[in-house]
Structure 1
Amino acid sequence: MSKTLNQAPVLKGAASPGDSLVRDVSLPALVIHRDALEHNIRWMQDFVTRSGAVLAPHGKTSMTPALFRRQLEQGAWGLTLASAVQTCTAYAGGVRRVLMANQLVGRANMALIARLLTDPGFEFHCMVDHPDNVAALGAFFAERGQRLNVMIEYGVVGGRCGCRSEQEVMALAEAIKAQPALALTGIEGYEGVIHGEHAVSGIRAFAASLVRLALQLQRDGAFALDKPIITASGSAWYDLIAEGFEAEAASGRFLSVLRPGSYVVHDHGIYKEAQCCVLDRRSDLQEGLRPALEVWAHVQSLPEPGFAVIALGKRDVAYDAGLPIPLKRYREGVLPAVGDDVSGCKVTAVMDQHAFMTVAPGTELHIGDIISFGTSHPCLTFDKWRTGCLVDEQSNVVESLAIEF
């Protein structure tokens, strides 16, 4: 009679320090290159500091506490997050200042934040953009004898959340003032929804209007802080927001907070393109960010000439902003792990667990070969994993990173 084996589940891509990606790690695996990661964290922190602002990187990109700690140790003011649950995860990982760039809606979510606010060392700010939400938050936190920091979100027509006019912003400030359990601590916007031929001028105008609104609210005595927060900036236009805040002299009157997130690992797609634009606009910047994130997978089938099927699919890698990008080919088990360029190959489609790849002429592949793939939009690659491999320049694992979506 066979004996049942009781063992803990094996996490996809799990690895231990000292493991080699080409010899010891079950693939596919999420791979982060240490040198590029450390460069990116230093680079963005330095950029923001020189811009007269502080950095609250968006943690939703990675939801990786080990990366949060590195960002804070390098000088980040706090972390940006998108939900109450993410905030709880960050708190458990040691984060004690959170800017939740979203509305806090629903009593169960409010209760999560109320529990964290019993820690006097925890600082939290969330967004509001409607009187109904203001009333609900005011009543909930008043019942508990707590005071919640809120910031008015200012948006653009056709965009995402946020008040759509300056009049709405002023009216909402009055609604907040009527709630003793709420403290207005700043104003927030998100410029990433501004697109089109005139995006640059539109983003500059948006930053200027954000500062004008902040100044008006300050003159009206609406803020609960002597130096209120003013914040914007995703991962594509952070330089324009920094310049806009500097041009309006926001740093003297406000705490200017920039909150890009994807920079931490960068990418080989949309943010690589955006970074090229940043460097074109800013001749004072030298080297930019470096792609640090890859997904490694095996060649599993070669059913036709010029066609390979890779053991990689929608469950493993982002595909919303471009398909995976073949980078290098490694031979399984061959050390040192030296990759050959396969950038002439191209992924044409992904299914749940398979990627279809055309093979460039002259590229020789074998079953079991390992291909490293670049990605576009790292946020939607991270959320497919529970663990990632931080590797050195020899592709050896130096740390296993817990990912906590």
Structure 2
Amino acid sequence: MPPTDPPLDKGLPETGPRLLEDVSLPAAVLHETSLAHNLAWMQRFCDAHGASLAPHGKTSMAPALFRRQLAAGAWAITLATAPQCRAAFAHGVTRLLLANQLVGRANMAIVAELLTAGAECYVLVDSIANVRALGAFFGERGLRLPVLIELGVPGGRCGCRDRDQVMALAEAVAGEAALVLAGVEGYEGMVQAEAGRDPAPAVSAYAGALVATLRALDDAGRLPVARPLVTASGSAWHDLIAEAFRDAGLDERVRRVMRPGCYVTHDHGLYGEAQARLLARRPEFAEGLRPALEVVAQVQSLPEPGLAIVALGRRDVGGDRPPVPLRRYREGGSPTAPLGVDGWRVTRLMDQHAFVALPDGAEDVAVGDVVAFGISHPCLTFDKWRKLCRVSQDLEVLEVLATCF
């Protein structure tokens, strides 16, 4: 239910639970029906492929969503920074996968505190220098830190570039009593195909390279844990990663971990397009994920024919692509009687304003109209909001979710 204390953040219920008249707009909105569908869809997908799900929490940094992901069956929550790990642990997440190198004594101190408090935390390594720094820091504190070797790609981000680097790094980890090598990690989003080529084969090949690397480490006796991990998967290629891991003939003791994050809300842009490609590859999936995150704002001004200024800007939505007008309502109107936005197009975003080009004949637009916008790339919109509204099908606020950015 909406909070009873006076709201101090933007986009919250002020006079009641009704989105179309009681919420201060703009507001970030999560549609419960689509949210529940996505949570169940991805968990079923991972279960069907024999994989564990460790969704990337950096997408939302919303503890209420972490709890629902775990309740749906997630094995862990992935995070990008040590402070994010601390925030998740503070809200009850006890198994954490830090999908980054842990660098800097202050960040190491955060992870040390988490281990001391009982967290299970994995971090990445890709250099001997980092291994030595981690070994010294955690050794001084009598702690043992599980690490995963990151396998990168040429021209990509972090990660070892070849097998020789991987094996040398594994030897360095074995020489540090405070560290234990727990598996191999990668991120297929850095894989590039030749211009004009479908990247899917290269992504599958990269997943195969992760498996081959894990096997090489195991054959060399460098994986002294009961259940080593092999992990990858952002939100665009999860089908290829899951299938490559499933079909690799891995021993059952290997835990295959998927780390998509944006699936929880999906979007109308970047990941909508990625899913269209997935459904083209996998027509047996009758339905995929549904967009659950929208930003809702009001028409502020109609200063000239063919132009609406909507009170929505870069402080409210991610800027990698313009937001997409989806539906429109009269303020205080019925949620079951949306008005048209055919031909509406956002042409420019400022800090707090969106310039919307209107088609010829758009004469029923009024100042105060409520417009729902689809977004592209959930990560870049979530971090604009300290609070989001979870709404029912009839656009009543069911819950206010806090974020921890």
- CA drift at 1:283: 2.4
Q: Which residue is 2:125 aligned to?
A: 128
Q: 8 Å contact 1:17–1:400 — kept in the other structure?
A: no
Q: Which residue is 1:183 aligned to?
A: 180
Q: Which residue is 1:263 aligned to?
A: 263
Q: Which residue is 2:332 aligned to?
A: 333
Q: Could you say if the C-alpha distance between residues 16 and 80 of structure 1 is closer, same or farther in structure 2, counting changes exceeding 3 Å? A: farther
Q: 8 Å contact 2:154–2:161 — kept in the other structure?
A: yes
- CA drift at 1:223: 1.1
1:286-325 aligned within 5 A: 286-320=286-320, 322-325=321-324
- CA drift at 1:314: 0.4
Report the 3-state secondary structure (helix = DSSP H, G, I; strand = E; otherwise coil) of the residue aligned with 2:19. Answer: coil
Deviations 1:68-105 (A, max 9, x none): 00000000001000000000010011101011100111
Aligned amino acid, residue 399 of structure 2: E
Moved over 4 A (4+): none
Pair 1:46-2:44 in alignment: yes
Structure 2 distance, partners of 1:9, 1:395, is 19
Structure 1 distance, partners of 2:128, 2:76, is 27
1:230-249 aligned within 5 A: 230-249=230-249
Deviations 1:250-302 (A, max 9, x none): 36241000010000000000100111111111122111100000000010111
Could you tell me which runs of 5 or more consecutive residues in structure 2 were left unpaired when the two chains were aligned: none
* Residues 130-139 or 275-284, more deviating: 275-284
Q: Which residue is 1:33 aligned to?
A: 31
Q: Which residue is 1:150 aligned to?
A: 147
Pair 1:12-2:10 in alignment: yes
Q: Which residue is 2:159 aligned to?
A: 162
Q: Could you say if the C-alpha distance between residues 343 and 154 of structure 1 is closer, same or farther in structure 2, counting changes exceeding 3 Å? A: farther
Structure 2 distance, partners of 1:92, 1:17, is 31
Q: Which residue is 1:4 aligned to?
A: none
Structure 2 distance, partners of 1:17, 1:8, is 10
Q: Which residue is 1:346 aligned to?
A: 345
Aligned amino acid, residue 205 of structure 2: A
Deviations 1:333-368 (A, max 9, x none): 123453223142000110111111001233321111
Aligned amino acid, residue 347 of structure 2: T
Structure 2 distance, partners of 1:180, 1:108, is 21
Q: Which residue is 1:66 aligned to?
A: 64
Aligned amino acid, residue 120 of structure 2: E
Deviations 1:129-150 (A, max 9, x none): 0011000000000000000111
Q: Could you say if the C-alpha distance between residues 275 and 179 of structure 1 is closer, same or farther in structure 2, counting changes exceeding 3 Å? A: same
Deviations 1:181-214 (A, max 9, x none): 0010010000011233241111111111110110
1:39-118 aligned within 5 A: 39-118=37-116
Q: 8 Å contact 1:325–1:343 — kept in the other structure?
A: no
Structure 2 distance, partners of 1:174, 1:296, is 53
Q: 8 Å contact 1:344–1:360 — kept in the other structure?
A: yes
Structure 1 distance, partners of 2:230, 2:342, is 42
Q: Could you say if the C-alpha distance between residues 377 and 17 of structure 1 is closer, same or farther in structure 2, counting changes exceeding 3 Å? A: farther
Structure 2 distance, partners of 1:225, 1:284, is 37
* Residues 46-55 or 220-229, more deviating: 220-229
Structure 2 distance, partners of 1:17, 1:306, is 33
Q: Could you say if the C-alpha distance between residues 84 and 343 of structure 1 is closer, same or farther in structure 2, counting changes exceeding 3 Å? A: farther
Could you tell me which runs of 5 or more consecutive residues in structure 1 were left unpaired when the two chains were aligned: 1-6
Pair 1:382-2:379 in alignment: no
Structure 1 distance, partners of 2:266, 2:303, is 34
Q: 8 Å contact 1:72–1:78 — kept in the other structure?
A: yes
Q: Which residue is 2:366 aligned to?
A: 366
Identity score, percent: 55
Aligned amino acid, residue 31 of structure 1: V
Report the 3-state secondary structure (helix = DSSP H, G, I; strand = E; otherwise coil) of the residue aligned with 2:146. Answer: strand
RMSD: 1.4
* Residues 332-341 or 152-161, more deviating: 332-341
Aligned amino acid, residue 314 of structure 2: K
* Residues 244-253 or 201-210, more deviating: 244-253
- CA drift at 1:18: 5.6
Deviations 1:32-56 (A, max 9, x none): 0000000000000000110010100
Aligned amino acid, residue 49 of structure 2: S
The TM-score normalised by the length of structure 1 is: 0.96
Q: Could you say if the C-alpha distance between residues 19 and 271 of structure 1 is closer, same or farther in structure 2, counting changes exceeding 3 Å? A: same
Deviations 1:221-251 (A, max 9, x none): 1112122000000000010001111121236
Structure 1 distance, partners of 2:265, 2:192, is 24
The TM-score normalised by the length of structure 2 is: 0.96
Q: Could you say if the C-alpha distance between residues 372 and 208 of structure 1 is closer, same or farther in structure 2, counting changes exceeding 3 Å? A: same
Aligned amino acid, residue 84 of structure 1: A
Report the 3-state secondary structure (helix = DSSP H, G, I; strand = E; otherwise coil) of the residue aligned with 1:183. Answer: strand
Q: Could you say if the C-alpha distance between residues 343 and 123 of structure 1 is closer, same or farther in structure 2, counting changes exceeding 3 Å? A: farther
Structure 2 distance, partners of 1:81, 1:48, is 19
